[in-house]
Structure 1
Amino acid sequence: MATQMFEGRGHAAVYQKYRFAPGKELQQTILTYLQEKRANLAELVVDVGCGSGQGTRFLAEHFKKVVGTDISEAQIQEAREAPSLPNVSYLVCPAEELPFEDASVDVLTSFTAAHWFDIEKFMREVNRVVKPGGCVVISTYTVDMSLRYGNCSEKLTKIFRESWDLLLKYSHNRIKLVLEDYKDIFEALPFPDKKRITDIFDKIPMTVAGVVGYLESASPYQAFMKNDPKAAKSLLQETEKRMLETMGVSSCETPVEFWVRHVCVLGCKGQ
């Protein structure tokens, strides 16, 4: 059974506002791999667990037809309302029951979502829908993020990680898959031709408000909110206040660099 964590319209709206698209290094890793495997001319790309469509929109810039799928109607509604290219469409469906014909998908992707799926059932669907010679791209960013701003990068990162560590106490056990760099997901992929890259680093342009918003969009924060709304809101306010004081600025729109590490599982189905 897939784990549903992003169902509410409010959470979906926060997710759309603060979650970021795949960074340049991750994009380059994916596009280079697909070129090597001659999947860069793909007719149909399916982005599973697409959320509010950040990864789906990146794919639409490079492929003929892209379909984003997600189990959450609220997330798909957000994705449909966002500006996107005309070759993108969205469907509400579980990752474990994809409405595509056998061997009909050229490239199947999933960005920061696969740890919520029933991995065994999802991999059976992957094997069913991907064409012989087709490719799979499954990635996530990890929790060891860092912040850079002037000469206070170390202090800023410490503030962010203290807040993040507090939130992780409320994290679902599925986050274990992320903490272990998608090792189990890599092993479950049923294609012998596969690899896992664990050291892709991307600089994401952010603001102080964006960093705090990212924390708000995370599933552990949503669990914290349900448990203790006052403490959860206070954590965000305190994080923002500490960041601004450390940076010596007053505007939460002040830009910072948000560095993330991606893990990427890549595979190609045999002919």
Structure 2
Amino acid sequence: MGHHTFDVERADKLEDAARYRYLSAEELLWALDLSGAETVADLGSGTGFYTDDVAPAADRVWGVDLQSAMHEQYREKGVPENVDLVTTDVADLPFDDNALDAAFSTMTYHEFASEESLGELARVIHPGGRLVVADWAASGEGESGPPADERYGLGDAVTALEEVGFTVEFEAIRTETFLVTATRATQ
């Protein structure tokens, strides 16, 4: 698993409002619990569908994606002034230690989940900072999203986050997806 990326030729599907049935903008904002002063990273930002929902609630948002072509599509659509785009792997984030107040992944965890990537998130999110993961569940029926063999179980995701120093505060399993909110443990 990991490093399977969404086909940029199908990027228009990332702008479909039907995506909100798996994670609404309101639920994402609730999970992030932002005050408006935070620096946040969207991991696997793609065309900025969810980035655009978070931008008005944060001071600065980093749209992180492995594919520069996704950033090009986002630029064509229009990037909010407080959003900066960075093309990189989650395992190699260009941020200083403790630089982020929060990070989130919407249906991309299965693309980057590895001990190296999660360790990198623990490095760049400050102690007490928040990580929100919504992704396709291994228990899902597979009608949407990636094939079942590319998905993670909720328990596996929780264990992986805890092993790199996050404390899981909320977890939920749904028909096709799971949602986890966690904070980086204070040192």
Q: TM-score, with normalisation over the residues of structure 1?
A: 0.58
* Aligned position for 1:139: 134
Q: Following the alignment from structure 2 to structure 1, what is the Cα–Cα distance between the partners of residues 7 and 29?
A: 31
Is the Cα–Cα contact under 8 Å of residues 20 and 54 in structure 1 kept in the other structure? no
Aligned-residue RMSD, C-alpha: 2.9
Amino acid paired to 2:155? K
Q: Following the alignment from structure 2 to structure 1, what is the Cα–Cα distance between the partners of residues 63 and 43?
A: 6
Amino acid paired to 1:269? R
Q: Does 1:184 align with 2:140?
A: no
Q: Does 1:5 align with 2:5?
A: yes
Q: Does 1:198 align with 2:136?
A: no
Q: Following the alignment from structure 1 to structure 2, what is the Cα–Cα distance between the partners of residues 97 and 16?
A: 24
Q: Following the alignment from structure 2 to structure 1, what is the Cα–Cα distance between the partners of residues 167 and 29?
A: 20
Inter-CA distance 48–34: structure 2 relative to 1 (3 Å threshold): closer
Displacement after TM superposition at 1:123 (Å): 0.9
Displacement after TM superposition at 1:90 (Å): 1.2
Q: Secondary structure at the match of 2:118?
A: helix
Displacement after TM superposition at 1:7 (Å): 4.7
Deviations 1:125-178 (Å, cap 9, x if unpaired)?
11100011110001025555xxxxxxxxxxxxxxxx8xx49x97xx37323x1x
Displacement after TM superposition at 1:186 (Å): 1.7
Q: Secondary structure at the match of 1:102?
A: coil
Q: Does 1:58 align with 2:53?
A: yes
Match of 2:118 among 123, 134, 140: 123
Inter-CA distance 65–22: structure 2 relative to 1 (3 Å threshold): farther
Deviations 1:188-236 (Å, cap 9, x if unpaired)?
113134321224xxxxxxxxxxxxxxxxxxxxxxxxxxxxxxxxxxxxx
Alignment of 1:1-271 (within 5 A): 2-8=2-8, 10-12=9-11, 14-18=12-16, 20=18, 22=20, 26-35=24-33, 39-141=34-136, 143-144=140-141, 164=143, 171=147, 173-175=149-151, 177=152, 180=153, 182-189=154-161, 190-199=165-174, 262-271=177-186
Q: Following the alignment from structure 1 to structure 2, what is the Cα–Cα distance between the partners of residues 93 and 104?
A: 16
Displacement after TM superposition at 1:42 (Å): 3.9
* Bigger helix fraction: 1
Is the Cα–Cα contact under 8 Å of residues 158 and 168 in structure 2 kept in the other structure? no
Displacement after TM superposition at 1:28 (Å): 3.1
* Aligned position for 1:229: none
The structure having more radius of gyration, on CA atoms, is 1
Structure 1: 5+ residue stretches without partners: 145-160, 200-259
Structure 2: 5+ residue stretches without partners: none
Q: State the percentage of identical aligned residues.
A: 24
Displacement after TM superposition at 1:83 (Å): 2.7
Deviations 1:8-29 (Å, cap 9, x if unpaired)?
4x233x3344475545974333
Displacement after TM superposition at 1:33 (Å): 4.0
Q: TM-score, with normalisation over the residues of structure 2?
A: 0.81
Inter-CA distance 69–29: structure 2 relative to 1 (3 Å threshold): same
Amino acid paired to 1:184? D
Q: Secondary structure at the match of 1:123?
A: helix
Displacement after TM superposition at 1:270 (Å): 2.8
Is the Cα–Cα contact under 8 Å of residues 43 and 63 in structure 1 kept in the other structure? yes
